[in-house]
Amino acid sequence: MPSIGRPGILRRSLQPSVVAGSLVFALVAALAAGGLLRERHLLLEQAHEDAAMLASVLEENTARTFESVDIAIAGLAQHLASSKARRHDPAVRELMRAQLRHLPTVRALYIVGPDGFVQHDTDYPKTPDVSLADRSYFRAYLEAPTLQRHVSEALQSRSGTGWFVASSRRITRPDGSFGGVAVAAVQLGTVSHLYRKLGLGSGRQLTLFHKNGRVLAGFPHDSHVGRSYAQLPVFADFLHRGSSGQFETDGAPWKDMRRIVAYRALDTQPLVVVVAVQEADVLASWSRTATGVTIGLLLLAMAIGGVVLTFEQRQEQRRRAAADRVTATESAAVAERMRAIAAHLQEADQRKTQFLATLSHELRNAMGPVLNALSILDRSDPASAASRRARDIMREQVGQLRSLVDDLLDISRVNSGKVRLDLQRLDLGDVVGHAAAAAQAGIEALGHVLVLRLPDPPLWIVGDRARLAQVVANLLGNAAKYTPRGNGRIEVEVRREGSRALVSVRDNGLGIPAADLGKVFGMFEQVERHQSSSQGGLGIGLALVARLVALQGGEVAAHSDGDGRGSTFTVSLPLVENEPAPTPDGASLRA
Ligand code: ADP
């Protein structure tokens, strides 16, 4: 899946969808694995049971076969112990042949005399007279005088008729002497045949061993007959512990092929039956199922991965689309802000240019009369009325210049935060009264009437006396300036409104157009038409007023009913009537 490597998705590898997908997969995988393990366990358990049961069946069949053979030869041995029959007596042969007919696994019965030569033989006269004195099973009786019965290892018949086991019995004469051995040649081929029938098609290995570890018969490997497997765990370990049992092994000779093994040692014969099943055979169909389940889980993982990836890709697309939208909106907003800033800067620049023009104009306006006065002084007698008038003009103009420069210095101090206020508890009426008194002469010189209304009882505020006086002087100066000479009426009132003290300066002058009311407190702002009528000023007086009032916790507002209908400026300050009296030096109120 190509998009697995997409860094965007990997970076968010703990997205809820990934977690949910993993959980679903883990759950299904755990259930499947649990089911498979349980199934495997059941199959192996079943195989153990089957092997044990088959071993029991084999034991029973084998024991029955060899027991019936033993009973027959025991009968013969007893019969011949006291018989005086001559060698190859037809009557004895007939008796033996009758026995043989009831023993389907036995190829031949024969009696070996104490000298080792065959005395009676169901095969006679086909077989020549032979000595079996060298045969191990015959010698066993000579070596162990008490040995009564014997089962040999797998032997190969001299006549080449295949493998057989000699099951034999000692013949003891009535006087107790050794009378020879009665022998039954049990054909191992017939035993293998029996095992083949029982083990058919099961993938099992059925083997009959002599208890010394040599193979007697088996299925499907009767080619192993005669070989010794004494190193098998059955003989090496298990038979010492018990005559039957079962175990699992992958030891020699079954390296890398794990087997389930069940064994039974026969009670009455030196024989051991062993059933071995390959675990791989038992689990063959299970392995196919497990492979199927594994492939299924892989497909499921791919399917879940696909779903999660598709989901994440869609989410990613949505996120990107949303981010694109946000970016577009943001860039539009940024552009809008840039335009506003540019417009603002342009306007500020215009105002600055305007300010410089106004400043030059103001300076020039003041310089003109001063120069005129100087030339009058040059020409006139210093004591003359003309000289006095010239000096008055110079004083007035220089005073105006000083207040202009003062305003400029003040506003730059306020703007850079360098103004230190001397805050103290003040009687506002007293402050305003003094400021009005100081301005009165100037106002009246312009032909205006000044009306003052102060409160009783006094209104207490916290402020800087000099700066408040400056504010009032500024407002009165404007009122006088923007009211036509001669018929002006300027009212100053101090009053209380709720928890605030108000100072209002009202005139009946030029008024301010509604559109300009909001701008008059801005730096370098002047109402157009006033400028053309050259009232003087730089457009910083009200800006200074607004900042000084704000520094003392108050605010200022302008009101006008429009062109020619006068203006009212109102300063509002918080009252401190209930505040405790200030400390004598006013230190607690200093800013
Ligand atoms: P200026 O130095 O021009 O007086 P201000 O900041 O004091 O500057 O005032 C700003 C503008 O507000 C003035 O130019 C004037 O147009 C207007 N203005 C101020 N006070 C009054 C008033 N009492 N009546 C009419 N217009 C006023």
Cβ atoms of 420 and 456 within 8 Å: the answer is no
Q: How confident is the model at residue 423 (pLDDT cuts 50, 70, 90)?
A: very high
Structure tokens at 463: 């402020």
Q: Is the pLDDT of residue 141 over 60?
A: yes
Q: Which helix (H) or strand (E) holds 153?
A: strand 149-156
Q: How confident is the model at residue 230 (pLDDT cuts 50, 70, 90)?
A: confident
Residue 145, preceding peptide bond in cis (omega within 30° of 0): no
Sort 311 into a burial class: Cβ within 10 Å, 0-12 / 13-18 / 19+. Answer: middle
Give the number of other CB atoms < 10 A from CB of residue 17. 16
What is the C-alpha separation between 394 and 221, in angstroms, rounded? 143
Q: What is the pLDDT of residue 21?
A: 86
Residue 154 is classified by DSSP as E
Asked if residue 542 has its Cβ within 6 Å of ligand 1, the reply is: yes
Asked if residue 539 has its Cβ within 6 Å of ligand 1, the reply is: yes
Q: What is the mean pLDDT of residues 14-43?
A: 88
Domain that includes residue 152, residue range: 1-310
Which residue, among 285, 149, 153, has the nearest Cα to 228 in the 3D structure? Answer: 153
Query: Does residue 409 fall inside a structural domain?
Result: no
How far is ligand 1, taken at its centre, from the CA of residue 525, in Å? 8
Same domain for 100 and 176? yes
Mutation pick for ligand 1 pocket among 408, 505, 526 (CB with most ligand atoms within 8 Å): 526
Atom number, ligand 1, closest to the C-alpha of residue 407:
2
Mutation pick for ligand 1 pocket among 472, 530, 533 (CB with most ligand atoms within 8 Å): 530
Which amino acid is residue 201, in one-letter code? G
Nearest CA to ligand 1 atom 20: 478
Q: Show the CA angle centred on residue 339, arms to residues 335 and 344, nearest 5°.
A: 145
Q: How confident is the model at residue 202 (pLDDT cuts 50, 70, 90)?
A: low
How far is ligand 1, taken at its centre, from the CA of residue 328, in Å? 44
Asked if residue 510 has its Cβ within 6 Å of ligand 1, the reply is: yes
Same domain for 393 and 290? no
CA-CA-CA-CA dihedral for 139, 140, 143, 148, to nearest 10: -130
Same domain for 355 and 241? no
Asked if residue 566 has its Cβ within 6 Å of ligand 1, the reply is: no
Query: Does residue 332 fall inside a structural domain?
Result: no
Q: For 546-584, what is each residue's pLDDT tens digit?
A: 999 999 999 999 999 988 899 999 999 999 965 555 544
Cβ atoms of 147 and 170 within 8 Å: the answer is yes
Same domain for 71 and 126? yes
Asked if residue 55 has its Cβ within 6 Å of ligand 1, the reply is: no
- Burial track 465-492 (b if 16+ CB lie within 10 A, e otherwise): bebbbbbbbbbbbbbbbbbeeeebebbb
Same domain for 396 and 424? no
How far is ligand 1, taken at its centre, from the CA of residue 524, in Å? 10
Q: What is the pLDDT of residue 587?
A: 41
Which of helix, strand or coil describes residue 489?
strand
Asked if residue 471 has its Cβ within 6 Å of ligand 1, the reply is: no
Asked if residue 521 has its Cβ within 6 Å of ligand 1, the reply is: no
Q: How confident is the model at residue 538 (pLDDT cuts 50, 70, 90)?
A: confident
How far is ligand 1, taken at its centre, from the CA of residue 151, in Å? 142
Asked if residue 520 has its Cβ within 6 Å of ligand 1, the reply is: yes
Give the number of other CB atoms < 10 A from CB of residue 197. 11
Domain boundary among 285, 310, 335: 310
Residue 420 is classified by DSSP as P
* % of the chain exceeding 70 in pLDDT: 91
Same domain for 396 and 485? no
- Locate tokens 């051995």: which residue? 181
Same domain for 467 and 430? yes
Residue 203 is classified by DSSP as T
Asked if residue 540 has its Cβ within 6 Å of ligand 1, the reply is: yes
Same domain for 430 and 394? no
Same domain for 388 and 449? no
Asked if residue 404 has its Cβ within 6 Å of ligand 1, the reply is: no
Query: Does residue 432 fall inside a structural domain?
Result: yes
Query: Does residue 315 fall inside a structural domain?
Result: no
Q: What is the pLDDT of residue 588?
A: 39
How far is ligand 1, taken at its centre, from the CA of residue 292, in Å? 95
Same domain for 121 and 43? yes
Asked if residue 526 has its Cβ within 6 Å of ligand 1, the reply is: yes
Nearest CA to ligand 1 atom 2: 537
Mutation pick for ligand 1 pocket among 358, 448, 476, 482 (CB with most ligand atoms within 8 Å): 482
Q: How confident is the model at residue 246 (pLDDT cuts 50, 70, 90)?
A: confident
CATH number of the domain that 253 lies in? 3.30.450.20
Same domain for 365 and 232? no
Q: For 354-397, what is each residue's pLDDT tens digit?
A: 778 878 887 888 788 889 889 998 998 888 998 999 999 898 88
- Dihedral sign, CA of 530, 531, 537, 539? positive
Mean pLDDT over the full length of the chain:
86
Q: What is the mean pLDDT of residues 495-516?
A: 94
**Residue 503: C-alpha distances to residues 12, 33, 460, 473, 575 (Å):** 65, 90, 13, 12, 12
Query: Does residue 338 fall inside a structural domain?
Result: no
How far is ligand 1, taken at its centre, from the CA of residue 505, in Å? 13
Asked if residue 524 has its Cβ within 6 Å of ligand 1, the reply is: no
How far is ligand 1, taken at its centre, from the CA of residue 526, in Å? 6
Structure tokens at 486: 């001669």
Q: How confident is the model at residue 185 (pLDDT cuts 50, 70, 90)?
A: very high
Asked if residue 410 has its Cβ within 6 Å of ligand 1, the reply is: no
Q: What is the mean pLDDT of residues 243-260?
A: 78
How far is ligand 1, taken at its centre, from the CA of residue 308, in Å? 71
Same domain for 383 and 431? no
Query: Does residue 324 fall inside a structural domain?
Result: no
DSSP 94-118: HHHHHHHHT-TTEEEEEEE-TTSBE
Query: Does residue 339 fall inside a structural domain?
Result: no
Secondary structure of 338-353 in HEC code, one letter for each residue: HHHHHHHHHHHHHHHH
Cβ atoms of 273 and 55 within 8 Å: the answer is yes
Of 183-187, 533-537, 543-547, 552-556, the poorest mean pLDDT is in: 533-537
Atom number, ligand 1, closest to the C-alpha of residue 509:
24
Nearest CA to ligand 1 atom 14: 526
CATH number of the domain that 510 lies in? 3.30.565.10
Which amino acid is residue 591, in one-letter code? A
Asked if residue 21 has its Cβ within 6 Å of ligand 1, the reply is: no
Cβ atoms of 289 and 39 within 8 Å: the answer is yes
Total count of domains within the chain: 3
Query: Does residue 411 fall inside a structural domain?
Result: no
**Residue 327: C-alpha distances to residues 7, 236, 318, 341, 471 (Å):** 22, 83, 14, 20, 49
Nearest CA to ligand 1 atom 18: 478
Q: Which of 8-22, 249-263, 450-464 has the highest mean pLDDT?
A: 450-464
- Locate tokens 């508890």: which residue? 425
Asked if residue 547 has its Cβ within 6 Å of ligand 1, the reply is: no
pTM (predicted TM-score): 0.50
Atom number, ligand 1, closest to the C-alpha of residue 569:
23
Domain boundary among 254, 285, 310: 310
Q: For 446-483, what is each residue's pLDDT tens digit?
A: 999 999 999 999 999 999 999 999 999 999 999 999 99
Atom number, ligand 1, closest to the C-alpha of residue 527:
16
